Chains A and B, each alone.
Chain A
Amino acid sequence: MSKLFPSLEDALRHCGLRDGMTLSFHHHLRNGDGVLNIALAEAARLGIRDLTLQASSLFDVHAPLIDHIKSGVVTGIETNYMSSGIGRAISRGVLKKPVRFRSHGGRADAIDSGRVQIDIAVIAAPAADCMGNANGLHGPAACGSLGYAMPDALHAKHVIVVTDHIVPYPLMPASIEEITVDCVVQVPSIGDPKGIVSGTTQITRDPVALAISRMAAQVIQHSGLLKEGFSFQTGAGGASLAVTQYLRPLMRQLQITGSFGLGGITGYLVDMLQEGYFRTLMDVQCFDLKAVESIRDNPLHQQISATRYASPSAKSTAVNSLDVVVLGATEIDTHFNVNVHTDSNGQIMGGSGGHSDTAAGAKLSMIVAPLFRARLPIVVDQVLCNSTPGHTVDVLVTQRGIAVNPLRADLNQALRDARLPVYPIEELKQMAQRITGTPHTARPRGRVVAEVEYRDGSLLDTIRAVD
């Protein structure tokens, strides 16, 4: 028996590809991914139409998708994130049917529960054997964790593993197990390593971002959560990652060891693991080369599935045990609702990813952002898109001051007792507007181009077309 197919075309035929099917893809190869483009080009060449794309995230490298939409090959998109190049086209209405946005946890649940049915999962695999055991640890396109592909592999009717690095059977360890795989296809390249992981993730040197992250670390310090067994997640961008730089000396001073670092993992968290600041890392996605090496070589750095990361219907997930998450925002409103889907003109340029999952799960969910960015105040009266509901957001930290959600009177008191600059969120809004002036906001009024589904499956908001 062989699962090796000479071409993706043969594998797609074997899996019964036809009009109207749902194809799924994971995004661990990020902006270096070649497989989604290859698969859609193949489907287009075979004359297939009316496909629904079930992608954990879409990046600008997937721009050929726009032509497949225009030609009717793709007529539906469901995803957790969309970078601005694709988002611009969607915001201008290229796709007739609204995009369905989910969170990372919400997508895993939708697939696990059968609310979303995948006909064929096309899994880009940096390393695989002839029976379809696959992982992201080896090969020229090594990306580390394959966590987001795991629910797809388990529940899709058919699974095709696409790799550029075949190893002798059995591949060890198997992130994707052969029991779910129909076909294995070898291609010359599954992606461009330069777009997959950055060499190193640098901590920002921007003084405003550093001021924000220093204050954020002080909030954590006085939240009552910084003690033995502390657990932590942060994004890789701007002020978020820099928070870890100020946490280290605090943890050393208190002589505490954290239980786990979670999420998209960077070299910075790997350093903290190696130096004993955390007992373990739980990794659903690697952001840089150091993280890829660590998950391959260090058994304390463990891979987790999207389901275990954040599914709301699992009996428990990692986000439920999370103490602190540090998150970004394009806008936050005076009710603490956060927008990470659109820019300030309402044009799509992102998505929830794990934002709303971690905000709901963590004991302290913190938004870090500059008071204003390119003249636009971060605090607005009403966000253009509600990505993460305000009742799950505990605190906003800016370089000029902190606002605590009125639902968290305990935290408000603790931070005031620590003499941190705590203000009502309306005051932060006015502070910004005294510098920037009052922005004229016009909400997009076009037809609905995207729907934002909350992690529990309910409709949280809609996004309208812009000109």
Chain B
Amino acid sequence: MKIVREAIAGTLESNDVFVRVSPADKGLNIQVQSIVLGQFGAQIEQAARQTAQMLGVQNAVLSLDDRGAIDCTIRARVETALLRGAEVQA
């Protein structure tokens, strides 16, 4: 799946994550900001990476502004942002 435009998903509410995706040339670049970076930074990155891989996204910049979302929320928000960025119709 190819990211063709910038897209967003999620909110900055507590327990949610705001995801921004944009096209890129080489590889997955995942940037994570989080209020629980120290406690869950690696797990947040991993959830985002696995979601991109599951959708077959090889090149993209993913930027996450996390407000303490649990894994299923992160996966859902990342998936939505990627589908929007790939202009996939639901």
**Interface of A toward B, CB cutoff 8 Å:** 344-345, 373-376, 435-437, 439-442
Contacts and interface: CB of A to CB of B under 8 A. Distances in A.
Interface SS of A by simple majority: loop
A254 B48 CA distance: 54
A344 B36 contact: yes
A376 B36 contact: yes
Interface of B: 14-15, 35-36, 38-40, 42-43, 67-71
B31 to A, nearest CB: 18
Interface SS of B by simple majority: loop
A436 B71 CA distance: 7
B60 to A, nearest CB: 24
B36 A437 contact: no
A375 B38 contact: no
Nearest to B16: A374
A376 B70 contact: no
Given A374-B35, A375-B15, A375-B39, 5 more contacts: A374-B15, A374-B68, A437-B40, A440-B39, A441-B38
A376 to B, nearest CB: 6
A375 B39 CA distance: 9
A67 B68 CA distance: 33
B8 to A, nearest CB: 21
Contacts of B38: 345, 440-442
Contacts of A437: 40, 43, 70-71
Nearest to A346: B38
A441 B39 CA distance: 6
Contacts of B39: 344, 375-376, 439-441
A440 B40 CA distance: 7
What 9 A-B pairs are tightest by C-beta distance, nearest first? Answer: A374-B68, A439-B39, A375-B68, A437-B43, A375-B36, A440-B39, A374-B14, A375-B70, A436-B70
